[in-house]
């Protein structure tokens, strides 16, 4: 998880004792927190060798898998919650993985850097791509293959017939409910399949 200040706000969206699949789990810190403090079980999915090793050292069950290949190894509704925290912006098949998130989980939680945040807008007005604590890379060396805004994601969720249970922004670990597209560096959505 890129911003540890956001960990408690994300963790509170996961019910106690939930079976969790954390896509792009990084070093496993979020899943380890959920196991320790919320009694959750589950798996992380990660591609990077160093992160996989860090997960193992934390006691997090991890599957080394390239998410661009999909989640066909998991059956429908096999997890209570599927997390995509700072993962969506790295995926080539973002829309497919969004649908897979709510297929495999009864609920999905997606969080990503909000490109609509006011410092990013100001940087663009000055003619430069933003470099911030939340988006710390130059345009030419970023691992992000796409950027999106809070409002863009809400439209994508509607396009894919997903029900938004909750949506808010995060800034320095604090929830932002008023004007999150403008005032928050991170967009957070809690979703499920529309019935």
Q: Which two tokens stand for residue 97?
A: 């993985």
Q: What is the pLDDT of residue 195?
A: 73
Q: Which two tokens stand for residue 120?
A: 């990013």
Q: pLDDT of the chain along its 195 residues, tens only? A: 557 778 899 999 999 999 999 999 999 999 999 999 999 999 999 999 999 999 999 999 999 999 988 899 999 999 999 999 999 999 999 999 999 999 999 999 999 999 999 999 999 999 999 999 899 999 999 999 999 999 999 999 999 999 999 999 999 999 999 999 999 999 999 999 987
Q: Which residues contact 72 (CB under 8 A, 6 or more apart)?
A: none
Q: Which two tokens stand for residue 19?
A: 């079976």
Q: What is the pLDDT of residue 28?
A: 97
Return the CATH architecture of domain 4-115+146-193.
Answer: 3-Layer(aba) Sandwich (3.40)
- What are the sequence ranges of the domains in the chain? 4-115+146-193
| pLDDT tens sequence across 132-166 | 989 999 999 999 999 999 999 999 999 999 999 99
Annotate 49-108 with DSSP letters as a single string. HHHHHHHHHHT--EEE--GGG-STTS-TT-EEEEEEES-GGG-TTHHHHHHHHHHHEEEE
Q: What is the pLDDT of residue 6?
A: 86
Tell me if 63 sits within 8 A of 43, measured CB to CB: yes
Q: What is the pLDDT of residue 2?
A: 59
55 vs 41, 89, 138, CA distance in Å? 14, 22, 28
Bridge partners, 85 (sequence order) = 111
Q: Which residues contact 157 (CB under 8 A, 6 or more apart)?
A: 98, 164, 189, 191
Q: What's the CA gap between 109 and 107, in Å, rounded?
A: 7
Q: Over the range 20-59, which residues count as b (16 or more CB within 10 Å of their CB) and which as e?
A: bbbbbbbbbbbbbbbbeeeebebbbbbeeeebbebbeebe
Q: What is the pLDDT of residue 7?
A: 87
Neighbours of 6 (CB within 10 A): 24
Instruction: At 150, give phi and psi (nearest 5°).
Output: -55, -50
């Amino acid at each position: 998880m890129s911003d540890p200040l956001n960990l408690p706000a994300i963790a509170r969206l996961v019910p106690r004792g939930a079976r969790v699949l954390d896509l792009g789990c990084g070093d496993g810190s979020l899943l380890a927190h959920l196991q320790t403090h919320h009694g959750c079980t589950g798996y992380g999915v990660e591609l990077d060798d160093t992160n996989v090793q860090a997960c193992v050292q934390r006691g997090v069950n991890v599957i080394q898998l390239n998410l661009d290949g999909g989640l066909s190894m998991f059956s429908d509704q096999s997890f209570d919650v599927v997390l995509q925290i700072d993962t969506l912006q790295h995926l080539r098949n973002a829309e497919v993985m969004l649908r897979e998130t709510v297929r495999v989980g009864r609920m999905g939680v997606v969080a990503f850097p909000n490109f609509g945040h006011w410092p990013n807008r100001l940087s663009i007005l000055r003619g430069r791509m933003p470099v911030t604590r939340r988006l710390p890379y130059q345009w030419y060396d970023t691992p992000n293959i796409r950027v999106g805004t809070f409002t863009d994601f809400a439209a994508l969720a509607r396009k894919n017939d997903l029900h938004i249970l909750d949506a808010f922004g995060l800034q320095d670990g604090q929830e932002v409910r008023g004007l999150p597209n403008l005032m928050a560096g991170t967009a957070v959505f809690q979703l499920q399949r529309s019935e």
